[in-house]
């Protein structure tokens, strides 16, 4: 297992070198490289002619972490991302792709170092600003529930929750985070939000925002707001699983266009 050391964690990574454009792929909250593949959110699968870096965020998948909520705030995850890019692609512009927490991490990094990215493919932007407080409350409640009743209660709740139409037919999955770290991961997410709207307006790289409908954790309102704020952003909305399965092709087209 390949590891990259950051303060407080060892990040598990995989690198596919087929020459070409530099690409970094992230994943969502409580997920991992492996789990996103099951959920049809691994847009880098089958991607050819690139140098693709994929990694598990701290505390997720095969990466280690500490039981410190501040470690899992989105600006902290952006610190990890920028360290990885400094190591793998020093002095290069990189295309970034990732869903939900991965989108948030990329946006925090792009606000901080806008010249680092050649383009962005952002999937399922999470709740933000006015919609964030309610979701943060859910995360805090789940963190408390894990500590009092165990992780199985949270897994059961997840199975009973309504599913977006585009995800119907996906197999059941469980968080790819240990029960010891999951409360801290959730509390870190609860303390997080997207960058301020005026900061996002300064991200001028070409950006595709991919969203789906009927998902309170990833409301279409956030995706629409990003497209309004970011001067070179466009939006595509999926309503079926078949449309989601076309997203890897969107990423490939984005990379081909933005690398020119």
pLDDT the model gives residue 89: 97
- pTM for the model: 0.97
Q: Which domains does the chain have, with CATH numbers?
A: 3-258 (3.40.50.1820)
Tokens of 175: 């968080």
228 beta partners: none
pLDDT-derived band at 93, boundaries 50, 70, 90: very high
Each residue of 104-160: pLDDT tens digit?
999 999 999 999 999 999 999 999 999 999 999 999 999 999 999 999 988 888 787
Q: What is the secondary structure of 54-89 as a DSSP string? A: EEPPTTSTT----S-GGGGSHHHHHHHHHHHHHHHS
Evaluate whether 139 touches 189 at the Cβ level (below 8 Å): yes
Evaluate whether 132 touches 207 at the Cβ level (below 8 Å): no
In this prediction, residues 164-180 reach a mean pLDDT of 91
């Amino acid at each position: 297992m390949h590891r990259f050391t950051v303060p407080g964690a060892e990040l598990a990574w995989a690198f596919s070198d087929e020459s070409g454009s530099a690409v970094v792929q992230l994943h969502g909250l409580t997920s991992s490289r492996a789990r996103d593949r099951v959920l049809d959110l691994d847009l880098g699968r089958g991607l050819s002619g690139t140098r693709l870096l994929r990694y598990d965020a701290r505390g997720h998948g095969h990466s280690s972490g500490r039981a410190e909520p501040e470690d899992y705030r989105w600006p902290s995850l952006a610190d990890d991302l920028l360290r990885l890019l400094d190591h793998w692609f020093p002095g290069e512009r990189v295309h970034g792709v990732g869903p939900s927490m991965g989108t948030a991490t990329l946006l925090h990094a792009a606000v901080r170092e806008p010249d680092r990215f050649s383009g962005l493919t952002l999937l399922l932007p999470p709740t933000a600003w006015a919609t964030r407080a309610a979701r943060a409350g859910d995360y805090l409640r789940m963190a408390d529930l894990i500590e009092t009743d165990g992780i199985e209660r949270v897994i059961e709740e997840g199975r009973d929750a309504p599913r977006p139409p585009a995800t119907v037919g996906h197999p059941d999955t469980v968080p790819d985070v240990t029960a010891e770290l999951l409360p801290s991961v959730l509390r870190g997410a609860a303390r997080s939000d997207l960058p301020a709207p005026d900061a996002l307006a300064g991200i001028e790289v070409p950006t595709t925002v991919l969203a789906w409908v009927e998902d309170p954790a990833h409301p279409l309102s956030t995706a629409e707001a990003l497209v309004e704020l970011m001067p070179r952003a466009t939006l595509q909305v999926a309503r079926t699983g078949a449309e989601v399965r076309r997203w890897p092709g969107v990423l490939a087209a984005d990379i081909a266009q933005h690398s020119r």
